[in-house]
Amino acid sequence: MESDIPAGQRVVSGMRPTGRLHLGHYHGVIKNWVKLQHSQECFFFVADWHALTTHYSETDGLEDHVWEMVVDWLACGVSPGASTLFVQSQVPEHAELHLLLSMFTPLSWLERVPSYKEMQEQTDRDLATYGFLGYPLLQAADILMYKAQLVPVGEDQAAHVEFTREVARRFNHLYGQEEGFAKRAESLIDRLGRNEARLYREYRRRFQEKGDSQALEVAREMLRGQQSISLGDLQRLDGYLEGEWRMILPEPAEYLTTAPKVPGVDGRKMSKSYNNTLGLREEPDVIQKKLMGMMTDPARKRRSDPGDPEKCPVWDLHKIYSDPQTLEWVEEGCRSAGIGCTDCKRRLLDAMVAELDPIRASAAEYLSDRAGVNALIHEGCEAARDVARDTLEDVSEAMGLDYA
């Protein structure tokens, strides 16, 4: 699916600040952001309030974690020139939207989100809080605030994006209805211009009669290209494609990315909580030490035992970092016991260090320029707030709160 998304879509994604990133974050998320930022209109942010929903009593390290994570993003090539980078808590409009959405979000929807029960069962932290229950709604506010069309997330977050769609739909049903809607929409169509009007009606019919969602997409694309039309009327035409209400908050889609498998040194998924990570910024000698102790195919007890790369986590890392010749050398040498695991790991180390060196160097530069980085973030927050204020104005008007 990666190549067939049209350019210029609104993309929003956030990451909880857990401090310095590891290779799992890098290959799973950040590389993908770096790619998307060039073709899409991207908003990337530090979800620091989300960190509080689970770690409300450990706020001491928070500032550091935010800082270290932003430095890592920049060092990896997430660019403030190509995307909007910000910190959630510095765009307090997120809290206002969260509050407004909370008024009509059924408790049962929140209790039903799979991560709610799962996380409570998996940890001995106190998660019986209002904030933790509201986690997905805060995330919905993050996404709807920017009227995002696409949310790049891992599989584990798909339920949150689905929940966001439900919240958007409920909002539009509740606040997007008005008297004489259909008549108004029809007269708006007539004003689109002959060709567009014909196409709009054709796409609408194709969607409503045959459920053709492609037609819906094309019609939306066409509407976005319309120049002399007010936002409210655009929302009417957008909503009329599907039903009889204004589409004030568009429903976002999740963008599931195909990330390579990144095992930690013990062979399990790389994760801070397993204490098995390879840090993005770790010095070569630290990486070396960790790699040399990394688990291999358990069947290869002695140097003379042949092994099977498919049963070895070191191989998964080779597939990420090594060139085809090296991969062949590993496959052949491992299966025939022609190479030892130390030889194999040394080659991997060389390839990894070559890719990590420039990232570490770049991070060092950002680390020494705290004021510069803060200025970048400040600018990103201001840009995000401009968009956020527009959305809130829109939302307040729809909810009848624009009397101030």
Tell me which of ligand SF4, ligand TRP, none is bound by residue 356, counting a contact when its beta carbon lies within the kind-specific cut-off of 5 to 8 angstroms: none
- CA angle, residues 133, 134, 140, in degrees to nearest 5: 140
Cβ-in-10-Å burial (0-12, 13-18, 19+) of 199 comes to middle
| Binding-site ranges for ligand TRP (CB under 6 A) | 12-16, 47, 50, 139, 142-143, 151, 153, 157
Alpha-carbon torsion 137, 48, 152, 20, what sign? Answer: negative
Can you list the pairs that 207-216 forms with residues at least 24 positions away whose Cβ atoms lie under 8 Å?
207/241, 207/242, 208/242, 216/241, 216/242
Choose between 48 and 282: whose C-beta lies nearer to ligand TRP. Answer: 48
Tell me which of ligand TRP, ligand SF4, none is bound by residue 48, counting a contact when its beta carbon lies within the kind-specific cut-off of 5 to 8 angstroms: none
Which residues are paired to 254 by β-bridges?
A: 151
Choose between 253 and 341: whose C-beta lies nearer to ligand SF4. Answer: 341
Tell me which of ligand SF4, ligand TRP, none is bound by residue 14, counting a contact when its beta carbon lies within the kind-specific cut-off of 5 to 8 angstroms: ligand TRP
Phi, psi for residue 151 in degrees, rounded to 5: -125, 105
Q: Which stretch binds ligand SF4 (CB under 6 A): 132-140, 154-162, 241-249, 309-317?
A: 309-317
Choose between 127 and 153: whose C-beta lies nearer to ligand TRP. Answer: 153
Is position 307 an interface residue for ligand SF4 (rule: CB under 6 A)?
Answer: yes
Site string for ligand SF4, 338-377 (x = CB under 6 A): -x-x--xx--------------------------------
As given in the structure block, the two tokens for residue 95 are 């809290």
Question: Which helix (H) or strand (E) covers residue 151, if one does?
Answer: strand 150-153
Q: Which stretch binds ligand SF4 (CB under 6 A): 121-129, 147-155, 168-176, 312-320?
A: 312-320
Phi, psi for residue 394 in degrees, rounded to 5: -60, -45
Cβ-in-10-Å burial (0-12, 13-18, 19+) of 48 comes to buried
Tell me which of ligand TRP, ligand SF4, none is bound by residue 143, counting a contact when its beta carbon lies within the kind-specific cut-off of 5 to 8 angstroms: ligand TRP
Q: Which of 208, 314, 195, 196 is nearest to 262 (CA)?
A: 314
Tell me which of ligand SF4, ligand TRP, none is bound by residue 341, counting a contact when its beta carbon lies within the kind-specific cut-off of 5 to 8 angstroms: ligand SF4
Q: Which stretch binds ligand SF4 (CB under 6 A): 85-93, 167-175, 263-271, 293-301?
A: 293-301
Is position 312 an interface residue for ligand SF4 (rule: CB under 6 A)?
Answer: yes
Question: Alpha-carbon distance 29 to 22, whole Å?
Answer: 11
Binding site for ligand SF4 (CB under 6 A): 296-297, 300, 307, 309, 312, 314-315, 330, 334, 339, 341, 344-345
